[in-house]
Amino acid sequence: MYKKNSFGYLNYLILRYFVLIMMSLIVFAPLVVMISSAFKIDSELYDFPMRIIPKTPTMENFNQLADRFPLYILNSIKLTFIIVAVQLLTAATGAYAFSKLRWKGRDIVFMFYVASIMVPVHSIIIPQFLIVRNLGLYNTHMALILTGAFTAFGTFLIKQFFLTIPDSFSEAAFIDGADDFTVFFKIIIPLSKPVFATQVILSFRYFWNDFFSPLIYITSQNLKTLPLGMSDFTNEFYTYKGPQMAASFISIIPVMIIFLATQKYFVQGAASTGIKG
């Protein structure tokens, strides 16, 4: 490797940062185009060559969202926060059972549970739909909550983190008279903020942007989520790209806020998960 302060090391740094900058531009280019398009009038959306800065910036695209999109946003916020909270609870309790408790057949059950990750959701959507309909939950938000309540990947992720927590912590608590619930809520959970933040970000991003499940289970206009509501601007004859880009711009703001608020824990969780298995 090059020595620091040498000419070769300087060239290496220049090349590395050049590659990183170019990759960043590639990643951010669609985002810049989306934000730019959100403030353009229809005629400018099809200009060639494309302008990043609109000639006549307008808020008309956002004004067209005023009727129904506040309701779509509230529906998405409500559903996403409920599903993420339920998933975090089921994944954390399952991970504790698979990592800290000793019971017959534990590893076999865990193997089959994790193997369910490989089953495409589209292959089970018909029997799942029939169950939801027979329970009388079709066209309700409860259908989305129940079908999204469990996550095999989240359980696996949190279990791997729990394995890095020394058993001596819980053993000392058991000696002092604590039970499993006390150990879980007062020892395991406070030590697991990084992996919980990681799971929250992954689940929040998925369900906030989920289009497929609401498309299957929701038909009422008042129950639509934000991704499903964006389809209102597309019909068989025309796509209203300006309002669609404005809605897309609004939709990324909560995800960015969640990530920025939890990024420190996210990095810690991503770095520490999977060290022990």
Per-residue pLDDT of the chain (277 residues; tens, 9 = 90+): 555 556 667 777 888 888 989 998 888 888 888 888 888 887 777 777 777 888 888 888 888 888 888 899 999 999 999 999 999 999 999 999 998 888 888 889 999 998 988 888 888 899 999 999 999 999 999 999 999 999 999 999 999 889 888 888 888 888 888 888 888 888 888 888 888 888 888 899 899 989 999 999 999 989 999 988 888 887 777 777 888 888 888 888 888 888 787 777 666 655 555 444 4
Closest to 208 (Cα-Cα) out of 87, 113, 127, 119 = 87
Nearest to 200 by CA among 77, 75, 87: 87
Angle in degrees, CA 111, 212, 134, rounded to 5: 75
Which are the contacts of 90, defined by CB distance < 8 A and separation ≥ 6? 149, 150, 151, 155
Distance CA 213, CA 221 (A): 15
Q: At which residue do the structure tokens 């000639």 appear?
A: 55
Q: CA 160 to CA 98: how far, in whole Å?
A: 10
